[in-house]
Amino acid sequence: MKAKHSRTTPKRYPSDLTRTQWKRLQRLLPPARPGGRPREVNLHAILNGIFYITRGGCSWRMMPKDLPPWSTCYGYFRKWRNDGTWAKVNDALRTQIRHRAKTKKSPSLGIIDSQSVKTTEQGGPRGKDPHKEVNGRKRHVVVDTLGLVVAAVVHSAGIQDRDGAKLVLKKLVGRFPRLQKILADGISNGDIAAWARRIGGWIVELVVRPADEPEQEKGTFQVLKWRWIVERTFAWLGRYRRWSKDSERTEASSESWIYLAMIHLMLRRLDPA
C-alpha cells in the first residue's frame, strides 16, 4: 500500500508560517518596486527567517543555514521597519480579529502600561528606571479590550511613565474615532489626564489598588479590573525570546519586535496550524 503524500509543506520550525497564514500575510505586504529586476527572493521563506529570530531570540548571524541568508532577512526587516510596514500589518490583522469577534474596527476603550527591560552592550538610548531599578529601556503599549496592541513606543527607561505615556498616546491621535477612555495605573499620574483630554479628547482613568486594603495584602499581586488585560498581553509577548532583553541599537527596531510578535500571534489566532 502506497503512502499518501501530503500537499502541505511540513514546517521545519515551530515559528514557520503555514501556507494559509502566509497567504493572509502576503496580501498585506508592500509590492515590489516597479521597474528594474523582478523580485527573486522567496518572501515566505524570508518571513519564516524573521519570525525564527522573533521567536527564538538568537542573533541574525546565527540563523540556521536552511533559512535564507541572514543579511537578506535583516534587509527586509530593516526596510519594513523604516517604512512602517510592521505597524501597518499589525493594524490590519488587529482589525480582522476584531471583526471576527464582532467588534468595530475602532476600540472605545484602551489600556496603557509599561515594561522596563535591560539592554546589552550594543549601544543606543538607555537610562535607569528608579522605580523598578532597571537600567535599560522602557516599552509603553496601548492595547484594546482583546489585548491586541494598538500602539507601542520604546524609549529610555529613565523617562518617567507619565512622559512615556504621552509618547505612545500621541500615536493614537486622529486614528480611532470611537476611543473615549484610557485606563492607566497610578504611576502614570500627574497632568496626564488633562493633557489627554486636550490632545485627544480622551478620559484617562487610573485603576489602582484599594486604599483600604489590608496590610497583609500590600505588596502582593492583585487582579485589577481591566488592567489584567494588558498584563496578559505582556505575558503573550514574553513567549518571544527576542523580547527577553533589548539588544537593539535603535528604539525603532525594538518597537518593530513588538509588532512582529503580535503579528505572529494574530496569524495563529486567525488561522490555527
Mean pLDDT by 10 residues, the chain (273 residues): 48 90 97 80 96 95 95 97 97 98 96 92 84 89 97 94 92 96 77 91 81 49 72 94 89 96 97 87
Residue 133's pLDDT is what?
Answer: 84
Residue 1's pLDDT is what?
Answer: 45
Rounded Cα gap, residues 35 and 196, in angstroms:
46
> Which pairs with CB-CB distance under 8 Å and at least 24 residues apart come from 165-171?
165/112, 165/114, 165/140, 165/192, 166/192, 166/195, 167/140, 168/112, 168/140, 168/141, 168/142, 169/112, 169/142, 169/196, 169/199, 169/200, 169/202, 170/199
Indicate the pTM of the whole model: 0.88
Q: How far is CA 226 from CA 12, 112, 237, in A?
A: 38, 10, 18
> Residue for cell digits 514574553?
238
Residue 257's pLDDT is what?
Answer: 97
> Residue for cell digits 530593516?
78
- The residue ranges of every structural domain in the chain are 104-211+221-244
Name the CATH topology of 104-211+221-244: Nucleotidyltransferase; domain 5 (3.30.420)
Residue 222's pLDDT is what?
Answer: 54
Q: Do residues 230 and 236 touch, judged by C-beta distance below 8 A?
A: no
Q: Do residues 89 and 50 touch, judged by C-beta distance below 8 A?
A: no
Residue 238's pLDDT is what?
Answer: 92
3-state secondary structure the chain: CCCCCCCCCCCCCCCCCCHHHHHHHHCCCCCCCCCCCCCCCCHHHHHHHHHHHHHHCCCHHHCCCCCCCHHHHHHHHHHHHHCCHHHHHHHHHHHHHHHHCCCCCCCCEEEEEEEEEEECCCCCCCEEECCCCEEEEEEEEEECCCCCEEEEEEEECCCCHHHHHHHHHHHHCCCCCCCCEEEECHHHCCCHHHHHHHHHCCEEEECCCCCCCCHHHCCCCCCCCCHHHHHHHHHHHCCCHHHCCECCCCHHHHHHHHHHHHHHHHHHHHCCC
- 70 backbone dihedrals φ, ψ, rounded to 5°: -60, -35
